[in-house]
Amino acid sequence: MACVEGVRACLFAVLLASVAAGPAWAQASSTAAKPPNAARVLAPGAALDAAVQAALMVDAGRVGELWDGASAVAKRAVTREVFVAGISAARKRQGALANRQWLAVRRQVHDGKQGVPAGHYVSVELLAQASDGKLVRELVSLRMDEDGTARLSGYVVE
């Protein structure tokens, strides 16, 4: 994954990668990893819809709006300016994306002890074709916030 300039932007990308690929994926079916409130579980279809909507906002250059609606967890990790600059630069390198398809929808519950804020997360992996024909992976992470609303907690394009 290419990091944009600035330590905070790279740190944000590392935080997002840890949310999406941390060891808790393997624990998703264990009793210890069950969310404290089953009503706060985001359905896979709803997560996929939200992830595609977020990716379409990035396509449309609406990265700032995406950050505006993000989870407080994401907003604490990176400023709006750094988020917008980082995502915009990463996507500019890829060019226009087409033929977006989903690869995976994963659920993860963190207890806050592994460097990731506690909470229920869902990450959606998307695969799209760049303007040069190469395949591009997008990872959209959502967090079920305390008010029961799923909000963006990260976006990474590789």
- Predicted local confidence at residue 153, as pLDDT: 95
Q: How far is 145 from 142, CA to CA, in rounded Å?
A: 9
Q: How far is 141 from 128, CA to CA, in rounded Å?
A: 17
Q: pTM of the entire structure?
A: 0.75
- Predicted local confidence at residue 40, as pLDDT: 65
Amino acid at 106: R
Packing angle of the helix pair 80-94, 44-59 (nearest 10 deg): 80
Identify the segments of the chain with pLDDT beneath 70: 1-40
Write out pLDDT tens, residues 32-77: 444 444 446 789 999 999 999 999 999 999 999 999 999 999 999 9
Query: Which is nearest to 157 in space by CA: 113, 95, 110?
Result: 95
Query: Which is nearest to 116 in space by CA: 23, 7, 43, 3?
Result: 23
